[in-house]
Amino acid sequence: MNSGDISEALYLKSTRVTLRNKRGLHARASAKFATMAQKFNAKIEVTSCNDVCQETVVGDSIMELLLLGSACGEDISITAHGPDAEAAVKALSTLVEERFGEQE
């Protein structure tokens, strides 16, 4: 591993979380996710982790998040590249774990 690889690794974070809100990545949840993703100095990608497909989209696009069609009980992977990668992954995974502020 050269020094470029090491510095690149410092700016890459990823986690996998389960959608717990009743409607999964619907319009409001996608809007909250994308709005939060835009606050960080990082490129954020979201990958659906279901049996049908594993598609990856950018995390700051409401439309692309909606296209994943991820439902309650399905996992998504959140990956961030950049100086704010760790903070971004932590904040976004917390948002998902807290059901986007929804009661159900």
Strand partners, 20: none
Burial class (CB in 10 A: 0-12, 13-18, 19+), 50: middle
The domain locations on the chain are 3-101
Helices (H) and strands (E) in the chain, counts: 4, 4
Domain 3-101 coded CATH 3.40.50.2300: no
Q: What's the DSSP call for residue 27?
A: H
Catalytic site residue from 19, 26, 60, 89: 26
Has 26 been annotated as catalytic?
Answer: yes
Per-residue model confidence as pLDDT tens for the chain (104 residues): 454 555 556 699 999 999 999 999 999 999 999 999 999 999 999 999 877 778 999 999 999 999 998 999 999 999 999 999 999 999 999 999 999 999 87
The structure's pTM equals 0.88
Rounded to a whole number of angstroms, the CA Rg of the chain reads: 14
